[in-house]
Chains A and B, each alone.
Chain A
Amino acid sequence: MSTHLAKLPRLLAAALLLFFLLAAIAPNLLAPVDPLAIDPAAAFSAPGPGHLLGTDESGRDIYSRIIHGARSSLLIGAAATAIGLGLALVLGTLAGFGGRWLDFGVGRILEVLFALPGLLLALVFIALAGPGVTTTVIAVGLTWAPGYARMIRAQIIALRSSAMVEAATVLGRRRSRILLVHILPNALAPLAVLATLGLGQAILWAASLSFLGLGSPPPAPEWGTMLSAGRTYLSLAWWMTFFPGLAIVLVAAAATVLSRSMKAGGSR
């Protein structure tokens, strides 16, 4: 019985992620109303039977916009995580397996990147490359890379002195083979956990950047943009801010819960 209860958060998180994944793949299935269709006469309608989660200042359906916004939010999150992890993999491997001088060089670069707050790094990048979805994705990915790279480097260094790598070295295996066969597969397993955790965080970051007006242009339904638009009418129409915010929190929390349970499962 207690094991069932313990599984509940995990199941809920998985169900939520599946729901938003479905929303991202086939939004029309869950929300048939056009997320861009305006109806000024129905502006600022409170949540109710006609509009499940209310309407915004142009009478657009909030529920429909959240469902249709899932695709860009999840895509931004996934792509940013992928970029961050990819970059981190290269840097981490170079540092952990490339010898003393490379380790030193990459280490210093990472330290410099660490010295800058992540959001600042993202803002600098956006200032240079101009706002937009692609830039947001790269910017968020870039800011995540240093942290991941350090973890990968630590993993590789730990594996380098493990018994199986020592055995392979004694047997005279080539370094590249040792890296590909013995080190990387073992270093990557914990990355799956990191990636899930990163997904939630990346969505949060992407939403923050859209909130600052640096993400997708209007009227595209994007959670951060919706949050920002609703802020103007916070005292009048709380639902304009609350529900997009709730979506962001739910996805980020679900991803975190899932990654925690994966980590717990992995260490058992």
Chain B
Amino acid sequence: MTLARPLATKLFPIATALAAALVLAGCTPSGTTSDASSDPGSPVTGGNLVYASGDAEPSCLDPHVGGNYPQALVASQYLETLYTKDAEGKLIPWLAADSTVSDDGLTRTVSIRDGITFTDGTALDAAAVKANFEHLLDPKTASSTGYLALGKIASMKAVDASTLELKLKTPDNSLLESFSMPWVAIESPTALKRTQEENCAAPVGTGPFKVQSWKKQYSVQMVRNADYVLPVAGAAHAGPAYLDSITWRFIPEAATRYAALQAGEVDIIDNAQPDAIATAVKTSTIKHLDAPRPGASNRIELNSSKAPFNDEKVREAFIHAVNINASVDSLFFGSAKRSYSPLSSVEPLAYSEESLFNYDPTKAGTLLDAAGWSERDAQGYRVKNGVRLSLTFPVSTSQSIPAEQSLFEQIQATAKESGIEVQINLLDISSWYGELFTNSYNLVSAPYTKVGPGVLSILFHSDSTIPAPSGYFANLSQVKDPALDALLNTAGSTKDEAQRKDLYTQAQKKVLEGYYLLPLYDQQNHFLYSEKLKNVGATTAVASPIFFDTWLAN
């Protein structure tokens, strides 16, 4: 690449600062980098943390229902999971004490920790966990993420108070990883018996905080769970959380959110914008937490189920016609690194193939000519049999930050040079889902967070073209390849770790070489917070922050 990169040069000091933070952040969970490297002093109890979220306000606070990232962020404060990841990124039991699997891989036994109660007084036991799984698998719950994660479970039985036995349809080596996600978090079975509306308003869990009230369109108020018991000693301090309460506000507008942080009106913001991060890291009053999400990378899916992307040559041509690197460099100020993999860089089994994704308009032109798109119309777009080479690209305004929308506009402008028309439709989330349901898209970018490489089956297995109870299907490139299905099936069920890695690598190669997706970067998950907030950096397995150990300096 011989691109002029003036911004990268300008931003060099920031990059070094970030790199330094990376090295120093050895005490925070894997994959996350935080500037909080200095000794925070001795913890202070009390205070109210104000969190400002840029995501759309969840319509339900129970992450079992639907199951998206905004739900996971807030639910991580009041719900806990059976498994989690420790500071080194290793999967460890949390509400579960241990788990074993039979030789044929079809029976999984989970033992549940003793001495933990939900905030409504109900005790945590095997029957409680069973009730949660049943809730997730019940079509009336309309779960998509949790439902897919538990899809292999055929039946379950609470053998005794602390032992749950799961019979599986086929072996599933990612089940424990699935258990670590907030969408499969464990709630009080007593509370789950309420109506869905009641449970959505105030789910009951075992977490360090509990939901007190929810003022719709404004904020969720959470208070400390005074009886909190840390399931694994030594992971953090014992006893209840330092903070008295958390106010979880919704401020969708990025500049307003950042201004609120600067003014001290809020203590921490999510969805921090690249330019704000670049400015903030230069100050001493605002700190930065970078916690890339696990699972899939952020990517654009190419819908292979209909013209023109049912022709592999056209998919390949499109990928070579757009210059992603130049855009990422200029729009993200060094806060995002280009990805060449279907998986997030925090996934140990991620496989990258940079050579497939170079910007090469000449090659794109040759491929399109060969595919029969050789004529041009008056506006310079390619035409075949009187039809213009036009791609519909619905973009959800609540799922993409302004920098990403600018990136899409740049893709549009660069693709035009190769004679490809890209029509960007900015839509609210429900209209956006509507476009997916009716297959009215050629390009789409949909984040998908999951722990472990099992996300590949969700995104690329032909089964995933069938909608979940919520109506969502995740295989948006609509790959239907029996050979790939077979690879993914074996990779997901083998007990041999080396074979698992090998098969997932082959599967990733297959989707990359088939040009079904255009990887962009990791799913961005940047937080900016006031330096008064200490001990920020602990996260769940899906990189959503936990404020159990956090305290507010006076």
Contact = CB atoms under 8 A, between A and B. Distances in A.
A219 B413 contact: yes
B95 to A, nearest CB: 41
A87 B5 CA distance: 55
B327 A40 contact: yes
Contacts of A233: 275
A26 interface: no
A81 to B, nearest CB: 27
Contact of A218 (B5, B6, B279, B405): B405
Contacts, number: 69
A38 B426 contact: no
A229 B413 contact: no
Interface string B239-281: 0000000000000001100000000000000000101100100
Interface in B408-445: 409-410, 412-414, 416, 424-426
A236 B275 contact: yes
B279 A41 contact: no
Contacts of A105: none
Q: Which range holds the interface residue count of chain A?
A: 20 to 34
Interface hub of A40, A41, A218 (most chain B Cβ within 10 A)? A40
Contact of B331 (A57, A219, A229): A57
Interface string A229-240: 101111110000
Contacts of A219: 409, 412-413, 424
Contacts of B410: 38, 40, 58
Given A233-B275, A236-B275, A57 B413 contact: no
B425 A229 contact: no
A128 interface: no
Contacts of B426: 213, 217-218
A52 B4 CA distance: 21
B331 A40 contact: yes
A43 B332 CA distance: 11
Contacts of B326: 40-41
A233 B331 CA distance: 11
A37 interface: yes
A234 B256 CA distance: 11
A86 interface: no
Contact of B6 (A36, A38, A41, A231): A41
Given A40-B330, A41-B326, A59-B330, 15 more contacts: A38-B409, A41-B4, A44-B7, A57-B402, A58-B330, A58-B410, A217-B425, A218-B409, A218-B426, A219-B412, A219-B413, A232-B254, A232-B275, A232-B402, A233-B275
Pick the 5 closest A-B CB pairs, nearest first: A40-B330, A43-B330, A40-B326, A38-B413, A232-B402
Interface of A: 36-38, 40-41, 43-44, 57-59, 213, 217-219, 229, 231-236
22 contacts: A37-B413, A38-B414, A40-B326, A40-B327, A40-B329, A40-B331, A41-B5, A41-B326, A44-B7, A57-B402, A57-B406, A58-B327, A58-B331, A58-B406, A213-B426, A217-B425, A217-B426, A218-B405, A218-B409, A218-B426, A219-B412, A232-B255
